[in-house]
Chains A and B, each alone.
Chain A
Amino acid sequence: MDAHFITRRNFLRYQIAGAIGAASGVGLFLPRRIFADPIPDISVVKGAPGPATRAAVELLGGMKHFVKPGQRVVIKPNMSFSSPPERASNTHPEVVRELVVLCKEAGASSILVLDNTLDNAERCLENSGIRAICNSVIKNIVQTIDDAPLFSEVKIPGGKRMSSTDVMKAVLKSDVLIAAPVAKSHSATGVSLAMKGMMGLVYDRRTMHIRGISTCVVDICSVLKAHLTVIDATRVLSTNGPHGPGKVLKENTVIASRDMVAADAFTVSSFEWYDQHYKPSQVAHIREAHERGLGRMDIQNLNIKKTIL
């Protein structure tokens, strides 16, 4: 675990440097915020997938902040396509592994990595590289689920287009939900990030398309609110998403937040999509989630902490 130690040390050094910087510079103008709320709304770390993931979570107060000993955790990555990590259709396996390790360190009693794949499940598990890498931490925690009895109905009290949906029972039984999407474009919803990724936990996605995909994504996110969102933007699928292959931007960035809307919004504004910049409000489901109070897309008013490893 030498690598982790070095990472942590580096990370602490950056944190101290950041604190000094904050105290001497920005701190003069916004002192109250620094002392009252030392934990940022969004953390952004540049670096290799694994260490950047760890650092991004640490900036938010560490995994112990989200996972208490004995709790059950579900991690929802993208692994819906049978393509290798460099294509950026799926979450980078090292990001997923780091999250599993962090949850294990925090004392989670059970960790599951779940998705409902579009491509053949076996091929997705194999080619995404996620199953193999997680098996090296804990065996058999990466599973794909599409069998109806493994889902259970959930009411959506504030739903606009949907009054209920069937969600994986394993998710309903869990205490902590972690969204771990890859940053990618999507031909129907603009981008597919934390919120859109929640579709991977519900049984009937067809209905959502028929009733209006963006509103339905917000509907399901109102009951599937991730406690922690970690967006893998180490590679960004900028065109031809969600399946790809398309233009892959090498951004080496991991973005984390307690607010899945904020994480999504920040990701939208940070990268180019089809060679252009967009505002979060140009993505219908992000805008609607903000309007419905699920989270915030006004990232200019949020406390964002950036680090480079």
Chain B
Amino acid sequence: MSFRRIIQLFSLFLFLFLLFAALSFSSSSWPVDLFLRMDPALTVFTVLSARILLLAFLPVLIVLGATIMMGRVFCSHVCPMGTTLELWEKFNRSTAGKRVSSTNLNFLKYLLLAFLFGSAILGVSWVFWASPLSLITRFYGLFIYPILAFLAERGLLILRPLAEQFNMNSIAFLQIASPRFSTQFFILAFFLALFLLEHYSPRFWCRTLCPSGALLALCSIRPLIGRQVTSACTHCGKCARVCPMEAIELESPITTKHGECIVCRSCEEICPERAVSFPVLWSGKASQPDGFFPDRRRFILAGLAGALTAVSGLTGLASPSGKAGPGKVAPPGLLRPPAALPEMEFLSRCVRCGECMVACPTNTLQPIWFEAGLMSLFSPALTPRRGYCIPDCRQCSLVCPTGAISFLTPKERFWAKTGTAVIYKEKCLAWEHKKGCMVCDEVCPFKAVEFRFEAGNPVPVPEVKEERCTGCGYCEHYCPVQNQSAIVVSPMGAIRLAKGSYLETAKRQGLNFSLRKATTFEFPPAPKGDIPGRAPGFD
């Protein structure tokens, strides 16, 4: 196995390990989002669209610096997307003979770059369509991980009877909660297309579409270290045929399109004359953008197209742009993760990598489709029916690579209200069906659901104490009413701050959260109903 292959597999392993760390180790000090922060397109366009400079993006500077020095080593050695595509190619050996040249499409990645630039200038982030790290994180996190968990769950079914035989309780009662995610159909379709293209043309994505590849290509037009061919070359053309990036032309194997070259050094390996090497290019000339660089008119058109789609997003019915006020349309149940930035800033920063959804211990964070408009596509939303939001959990903010969800101190996090529960009396077992239930009260971690007696109703009925409700969704999750719960968290009263204190803001609004499990919990005086002196649940 070559040195490159080892580095590549190590990188992929590290990437997967960090993803695993995100979902397993709460309060982890691992840089779980490291790879995302190395992605040039993801970081550059987030800086542009959100107009922020983040210290967290330091790793990308190292990647860019390394590229200026030695070319696109990131693409050939580090990028998990590249490795995944190469592994697929290895697995699917038929590629070699069938290669279809697609050099004439290589300009597309620059157009994509211009497109993303055009939209980012207007504050709209479309990186999630094309950032390789955002896509591959979703592929492994939201698509492969649930499949593996599902298989493990099935595996347990076989293992359990054996464990029972030997009284091994820790295995016999081991449970694997396999996560579920929406929009995985998009990931499936997208990667199916990528793998199919890979089948006909190796590294098609990296060569033709990847905007990070395009940025790195621009940085490596004249690298310090690069491919050099000595006069021993016999023009046999073997190197040109083996180059996965078509950075070498068959007619002239001596010249190198450095912008396209990912320094995989396959040409060096295959050369029968040992004429190829990768030394320091003291006297090297800058290679042209190799004719792949589109003409100015196409470039500007692509930028305009990006700006235009950005505007179409901004002017969509559900667009969050502009000040809150009358005429605003947003989905009634759209709940953002706790401490998510105000909607516009949130959307301009969120790269839809899915890291928060992988890390969420209750699987409540789900990517959404078009219900909140084009701009919100694949963005994370709380889904209380699926899972509640644990009041002292900060996992999503911990793993967010761009700070779209603020990482707060535990004390501040506690006051990051996500919404308010609303009871639909006509669906409620106690209110409408006059059946004893009170599950919402039973599960509420804050005692924000109180019971009281209503004249003519033999059972106690629930009532939300809004000032105690954080919108965590335990009530909606556990409500026995199908399919829509009779108690539903609405985004009403959610606190989302770009700066300032959540605690102070909440207190100023008269909110009064207190966890039942806290030793300082002061429970509200036992409620007295319309029927005095009767304990709830007794006849």
Verify that A and B bind, or say they do not: yes
Q: Are A210 and B481 in contact, CB atoms less than 8 angstroms apart?
A: yes
Distance between Cα atoms of A205 and B537 in the complex (Å): 17
> Given A118-B442, A239-B526, A212 and B537 touching (CB < 8 A)?
no
The answer to whether A282 touches B442 (Cβ under 8 A) is: no
Q: Which of B72-80, B169-177, B191-199 contacts A (4 or more CB under 8 A)?
A: B169-177
Q: State the Cβ distance, B389 to closest chain A Cβ, in Å.
A: 12
Would you call B535 and A273 a contact (CB within 8 A)? yes
Interface size range on B against A: 35 or more
Q: Contacts A206-B480, A209-B439 given; indicate if A143 touches B173 (C-beta within 8 A).
A: yes
Do A282 and B539 form a contact, CB below 8 Å, given A187-B442, A210-B480? yes
Interface contact A146-B537, CB-CB below 8 Å: no
Task: Give the secondary structure class of B's interface.
Answer: loop
Docked Cα-Cα span, A82 to B429, in Å, equals: 26
Among candidates A141, A143, A209, A240, residue contacting B526 with C-beta atoms closer than 8 Å = A240
Question: In the complex, which of the residues B160, B175, B526, B535 contacts A190, with contact meaning CB atoms closer than 8 Å?
Answer: B535
A residues contacting B by CB (< 8 A) are 82-83, 110, 112, 118-120, 127, 140-141, 143-147, 149-150, 170, 185-191, 205-210, 212-214, 239-240, 242-247, 273-274, 276, 278, 281-284, 287
Q: Which of B435, B443, B480, B526 contacts A243 (CB 8 A)?
A: B443
Measured CB to CB, the nearest residue on chain A to B522 is A245
Q: Mark B429-452, 1 if CB is under 8 A from A, else 0.
A: 100000111110111100100010
B500 in the interface, Cβ–Cβ < 8 Å?
A: no
Tell me whether B536 and A188 are in contact (CB under 8 A): yes
Residue of A nearest to B458 (CB): A284
Known: A143-B169, A240-B526, A245-B516. A273 touches B435 (CB 8 A): no
B429 with A120: CB separation less than 8 A: no
Q: Is the CB of B523 within 8 A of A246?
A: yes
Q: Kindly state whether residue B538 has any CB partner on chain A within 8 Å.
A: yes
Asked if A214 and B480 sit within 8 Å, CB to CB, the answer is no
Q: Can you name the residue of chain A whose Cβ is closest to the Cβ of B170? A: A140
Check A83/B437 contact, CB under 8 A, given A186-B537, A190-B537.
Answer: no
A87 to chain B, nearest CB (A): 8
9 shortest interchain CB distances as A-B pairs = A190-B537, A274-B535, A206-B480, A188-B436, A209-B480, A187-B438, A143-B173, A140-B169, A190-B538
Within 484-527 of B, Cβ neighbours of A (below 8 Å) are at 516-517, 521, 523, 526
Q: Is B264 an interface residue (CB 8 A)?
A: no
B residues whose Cβ falls under 8 Å from a Cβ of A: 156-157, 160, 167, 169-170, 173, 175-177, 390, 429, 435-439, 441-444, 447, 451, 459-460, 478, 480-482, 516-517, 521, 523, 526, 533-539
Nearest chain B residue, comparing its CB with the CB of A86: B519
**Minimum C-beta distance from A136 to chain B (A):** 16
Q: Which among B167, B390, B535 has the highest number of chain A CB atoms within 10 Å?
A: B535
Contact of A244 among B390, B516, B538 (CB under 8 A): B516
Task: Tally the A-B contacts, defined by beta carbons under 8 Å.
Answer: 118
Q: CA A209 – CA B516 in complex, angstroms?
A: 24
Residues of B within 8 A of A191 (CB): 537
On chain B, the residues within 8 Å of A244 by CB distance are: 516, 523
Which of B441, B447, B478, B480 counts the most A-chain CB atoms under 10 A from its CB? B480
Residue of A nearest to B388 (CB): A120
Contact partners of B537 in chain A: CB under 8 A: 185-191, 283
Contacts of A185 on B, CB cut-off 8 Å?
535-537
Q: Decide: B481 and A278 in contact? CB cutoff 8 A.
A: no
Distance in angstroms from A261 CB to nearest chain B CB is 16
26 contacts between A and B (CB under 8 A): A83-B516, A110-B167, A118-B443, A118-B478, A143-B169, A147-B175, A149-B156, A185-B536, A185-B537, A187-B451, A188-B437, A188-B439, A188-B536, A189-B537, A191-B537, A206-B480, A209-B429, A209-B437, A209-B480, A240-B447, A243-B444, A245-B523, A246-B526, A276-B535, A283-B537, A284-B539
A189 neighbours in B (Cβ, 8 Å):
436, 537
Contacts A188-B536, A189-B436 given; indicate if A82 touches B517 (C-beta within 8 A): yes
The answer to whether A212 touches B480 (Cβ under 8 A) is: no
Bound state CA distance, A283 and B175, in angstroms? Answer: 36
A218 CB to closest chain B CB (Å) equals: 13
> Within the assembled complex, what's the spacing in Å between the Cα atoms of A210 and B536?
18
Report whether B173 and A213 are in contact in the complex, using a CB–CB cutoff of 8 Å. no
Give the distance in Å from the alpha carbon of A221 to the alpha carbon of B503 in the complex: 47
Are B480 and A283 in contact, with the CB atoms below 8 A?
A: no
Residues in chain B near residue A143, CB distance under 8 A = 169, 173
**Distance A140 CA – B164 CA, assembled complex (angstroms):** 13
CB distance from A187 to the nearest CB of B (A): 4
Contact flag A188-B481 (CB < 8 Å), given A274-B535, A278-B535, A282-B539: no
User: Whole-angstrom distance from the CB of A204 to the nearest CB of chain B?
Assistant: 9
* Nearest opposing residue in chain A for B460, CB measure: A187
Q: Which of chain B's residues have a CB closer than 8 A to the CB of A278? A: 535, 538
